[in-house]
Amino acid sequence: MSKGALSRDFIVPPFSVLSARAKEWQDRKRLWLDLGIDSGEGRKEDLLGGYASAMAKWSETNGKGTTPGSWASKSIFDPVLTELCYAWFCPPEGKVLDPFAGGSVRGLVAAYMGREYTGVDLRPEQVEANDMQADALGVKPRPKWKVGDAVQLYKHVRGYFDFILTCPPYGDLEKYSDDPADLSNMHYDVFIGAFRASMKQAAARLKEDRFAAIVVGDFRDREGINRGFVRDTIEACEDAGLRLYNDAVLITQAGSLPLRARGGFESGRKLGKTHQNVLIFVKGDPKVATEAAGKVAGYDF
């Protein structure tokens, strides 16, 4: 079977190395952006996310007078990776749980693909921004974002879900708010304890014989030593009853890395990081979970 046939049948070849730099990936990402999903690069101080086009549309419709330039962007989850996770591992019309929701992309892609999405985020301003973009785009089924703490997920989420897709905060690598309950404000040891508690509660809400996808990346402490967050994520999920089933790498865009890599390498032999880890876990029987996921079908643009 040719690579072309794999792409035709599975959106992209289902290999353990995925490249967001590939032309096919970038072409598909542009299709998602054309729907109004903003996937801006780079983190800014503003917490509302990079939703300039949708926010401007919403503002015009509702007479708010907000200009696109007033909406700063944060790094946004890749919509193509989101599509793959749903198409490969989530049952059609399945219910998705995202305990670390952040921006709107995972919820919007779920809606476009007919999945029911519930995301939890600590910051009211982030949930408001997500709701505003969903209203601007008019997506159905309407994603649900709830203000809440993933460590106390039981207070915010009821029922059971067919899939978990989330991207937890990378410890104190980035600060999202001044809230002491925000994991990004915690010392790493405390952060890991809270993260483990969050994943236990999320796993308890996942149906038997279903998959979970956690997108993470390692990051350094103040001495430049890698924290081992990928390892700690695997241990946290296994402790929660989720077994590691696939370990993939997403090659990300280089962005400004070529401009930054020289200094880090010359001063400390630090390699420029240009990938994320995509960890797929299974709860129960992987064969039954695969049957539940059904035939792979991407979004029909």
Residue 144: CB partners within 8 Å, gap ≥ 6? 107, 116, 117, 118, 119
pLDDT of residue 56: 43
Is residue 44 scored above 70 in pLDDT? Answer: no
Q: How confident is the model at residue 127 (pLDDT cuts 50, 70, 90)?
A: very high
Higher pLDDT among residues 63 and 266, named by residue: 266
Q: How confident is the model at residue 37 (pLDDT cuts 50, 70, 90)?
A: confident
Q: What is the mean pLDDT of residues 101-130?
A: 96
Q: How far apart are CA 221 and CA 212, in angstroms?
A: 28
Q: What is the mean pLDDT of residues 14-36?
A: 96
pLDDT of residue 134: 96
Is residue 242 scored above 70 in pLDDT? Answer: yes
Q: Tens digit of pLDDT for each residue in 278-299?
A: 999 999 999 999 999 999 999 9
Q: How confident is the model at residue 55 (pLDDT cuts 50, 70, 90)?
A: very low
Contact indicator for 277, 45 with CB cutoff of 8 Å? no
pLDDT of residue 178: 54
Task: Look up the pTM and report it.
Answer: 0.84
Q: How far apart are CA 268 and CA 225, in angstroms?
A: 11
Q: How far apart are CA 226 and CA 216, in angstroms?
A: 13
Residue percentage of the chain with pLDDT more than 90: 74
Is residue 180 scored above 70 in pLDDT? Answer: no
Q: How far apart are CA 115 and CA 66, in angstroms?
A: 31
What is the phi-psi region of residue 62: left when phi exceeds 0, alpha when psi lies from -120 to 50, beta otherwise? alpha
Kindly report the average pLDDT of the chain as a whole number: 86
Contact indicator for 289, 88 with CB cutoff of 8 Å? no
Is residue 48 scored above 60 in pLDDT? Answer: no
